[in-house]
Structure 1
Amino acid sequence: MTEVKYLNIIEKKRCSGCTACVAVCPKQCITMQADEEGFLYPVVNTTRCIQCSKCVKVCPYTDSEFTNKPEKEELSVCYAAYNKNEEIRYKSASGGMFRVFADQIIAEGGVVFGATFDKDFTVEHTYTETLEGLTAFMGSKYLQSRMEDSFIQVKRFLREGRKVLFTGCACQIAGLKRYLKKDDANLICIDLICHGVDSPQIWLDYLHSLFPDESVKSVNFRDKVTGQDNSSVCIISSKSMFCERGRNSVYFKNWQYGMFTRPSCEICPFKSDNRVSDITIGDCWGFKKIAPEMYDDKGLSSMVVHSEKGKTLFDTVMHQLSFKETLIDDVKLYNSDYIRSNAFVHSRRKAFWKDYHQHKKPFEKLLKKHLEDSKTKILFKYIKKVVRRCLLLLKGLPN
């Protein structure tokens, strides 16, 4: 078999766009380019490529100790928790856990990496060295973030001996670990319980459909004006404001059903017990069973600590939290995104993109056409949920 000398993405389900290949290339001949769905993929300039194969070897979709967690390292101490700072908690998507960890790293002279909206309200990864800079990283952003040179910057700060907190999706952290080739003592990685990332292209079309002649000033995907359990997407423009409960949004329903999530999210191998992060945070769904005494609809997080580094950081900030130790099985049961992305190949996905590229309908009508919350689909979802719970019961997990 001929050895593969450089990346050539053929199967898009096996590329999360983490940019480890871009960062490792000694000739800087790999660029991230958007495909017809708006997702970024690495493209190699073969005329400049020296065929060193570093881009192939660094890919997190190949087996490695940095993307496959040894069973003996699994710690999995779980908590239901929220930040005691009520202002931060309210502004956060769930319990404000990111801020308590990030504040500590900044207080120790460290650097925090996270996702933020850019001037066009797509999402990019960047870093901050100040408490003020952390505000932009707060709140959920369901889009594919552009990593830019984040991996290279992480390595630079670590070489300077500084602590680094890197927050992102599990696939991004897997790529970072592959690029660094070691688990640096000063690096703390926190991944988010992720449903799958949305196409930046579709997101921009959605914004334009809402505000065709106005400039957007702010976006909040999880505004708690109606509580955490029934949060709203609120967008403020130069002239008006749009606010709609997420569960009623035709845009978010299409995203939840996998209509325009990244293909790799369907088969994400970096979830469940194979997370190579130090801490995982997400919404505490199932709170009525897990921690009913803690839930007040202001924000409650589930948190899973995977490593001794993560446990040390948690112990340092625990006085700033209200928390209760819980079970990993409850996290898996009530938030299935911990195990796998709920994104799946929707039966209408190909038809949606065909209509989209042919511009057969105005954008809002296109979303409504391909959503079609029919009784049949609702029944299918219910049956799937029942079957999954039955399988968990057969495996001895609590119902």
Structure 2
Amino acid sequence: MTDLPPGEPAPPLAPPRSAGQSALAGVFDLDAQLTPAEREWQQRARRFAHDRILPTIDDDYENAYFRRELVAELGAAGFLGMHLEGYGCAGASAVAYGAVCLELEAADSSWRTFVSVQGSLAMTAIALFGSDEQKRDWLPRMATGEVIGCFALTEPDGGSDPAAMHTRAVRDGGDWVITGTKRWIGLASIAGVAVVWAQTDDGVRGFLVPTETPGFVATPIEGKLAMRASIQCDIRLDAVRVPDSLRLPGAVGLRGPFACLNEARFGIIWGAMGSARTCLEAALDRSVSRHVFGKSIGAFQLTQDKLASMLLEYQKGVLLALHIGRQADAGGLDVTQLSVGKLNNVREAIAIAGAARSILGGDGITNAFPVMRHLANLEAVRTYEGTDEIHALVIGRALTGESAFH
């Protein structure tokens, strides 16, 4: 690194941060970019994360414990299905929903994931493709958290190729009989209803399967080193019989599950930046409190270079999320942009978390700091709702007009 050119004035020093002041104050402030209504949602989520998630999340992660009592509280706060209209849902803007996802994931990915599975996947499937009776029956109870939903699409042999799913639904009189297996299904063991996607003679269709139906078995996956405060399951469907009234009438082909996945990807674009912010703040706080060689590590050029690079990628990621949110609210969102956002923001959040760990030194691998928890969770987020490779190919297809999937 070099000195300033001769005669060029040095930039003014930033004033010292006061106790309790945001680590990023005066450098970048998302709050100023939000409307009053969006900011109210954001602040509500920030308070919820601070008061209800953070006090126990380290223990919950360590003990692989899902704190179910928070579900009703999330419903009471209006976060479940908040982007949907009617049926007890808030009808909030896309940007407001994104800001909530960012604040929840700043505490832990598990709770943004819960809101995504419940609202963006299960409830959105019913809202977009369900009958009026199905919407009236399920959505109000799911909005309050009385009923938890899950979204059963991924299978053991290939999450990235849902067109090749093996689960089948066969018509038998007025019923459907569903047989197959699903894997990595969030919330399945505590859900009251599963949105199950299955092949039929007429292509992929969606079904609402009450989880007490005989033949439906959900088993939590053990041994996870990420998303430990959340639940993901294997599902076995052994000749599960449901009436035709529980088929989603508007879901025809893969456009059904893909529409729901797009909603979930939107939440991830924002949520990943919440994890990134927490890691950046932890590194920044440590950089001014830890002293070596007679001064804080934040006074060294290499540390400041790391922090500056982390801030750049965080700020760009948040502004990308905001841009995509504004496009969604204006009704002009190109779904390729969801792949741009998911690929960039999760990848950069992982890089920010890794840089934060390096600034924290050896202590960074302990639970005295949240960084390794976020880093592990982000590796899971990187995989679900489309891997890096899948999103790169979506972008490549848009650029070239050529599909590399087959």
Q: TM-score range by the shorter chain?
A: under 0.3
Q: State which structure, 1 or 2, has the greater radius of gyration over its C-alpha atoms.
A: 2
TM-score by length of 2: 0.27
